[in-house]
């Protein structure tokens, strides 16, 4: 009886292996079709796009940080000169943050630039 059980188990294993092999073959064919449809990309173009994205990200983050730092510096100076500590720092820190966010939004193209940017109202320099 053990021989019959072993033969049955071997038959089941062979069927499962055949099913897995067929599934693997279908997956390989699907991958080959998808790779054939995708346009070939050169590594230089991908690097240039990545570098351009990094440059834009650093520019936007530096504009935000610059606004906050300038606002905090002006507030600290006002606190020292007028002796109204900590109100000058708090107010100008918030104003610097708002100015930094506005500069980031202008640079990203979310908000149109002001009329003072290029001299003509309603137009934006690129």
Residues 69-100: pLDDT tens digits?
Answer: 999 999 999 999 999 889 999 999 999 999 99
Whether the pLDDT of residue 5 is over 70: the answer is: no
- Residue 23 structure tokens: 């599934």
**pLDDT at position 126, please?**
44
Give the residue-averaged pLDDT of 44-58.
Answer: 82
Contact (CB, 8 A) for 117 and 107: no
Instruction: Over range 96-117, report the average pLDDT.
Output: 85
Rounded Cα distance between 103 and 90, Å, is 20
Give counts: helices (H), strands (E), the chain.
Answer: 4, 0
Q: How confident is the model at residue 119 (pLDDT cuts 50, 70, 90)?
A: low
């Amino acid at each position: 009886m053990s021989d019959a059980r072993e033969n049955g188990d071997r038959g089941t294993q062979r069927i499962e292996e055949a099913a897995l092999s067929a599934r693997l073959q279908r997956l390989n064919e699907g991958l080959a079709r998808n790779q054939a449809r995708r346009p070939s990309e050169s590594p230089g173009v991908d690097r240039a796009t990545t570098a351009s994205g990094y440059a834009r990200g650093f520019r936007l983050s530096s504009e935000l940080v610059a606004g906050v730092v300038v606002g905090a510096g002006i507030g600290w100076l006002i606190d020292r000169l007028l002796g109204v500590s900590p109100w000058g720092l708090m107010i100008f820190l918030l104003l610097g943050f708002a100015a930094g966010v506005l500069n980031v939004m202008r640079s990203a193209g979310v908000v149109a630039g002001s009329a003072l940017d290029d001299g003509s109202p309603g137009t934006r320099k690129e």
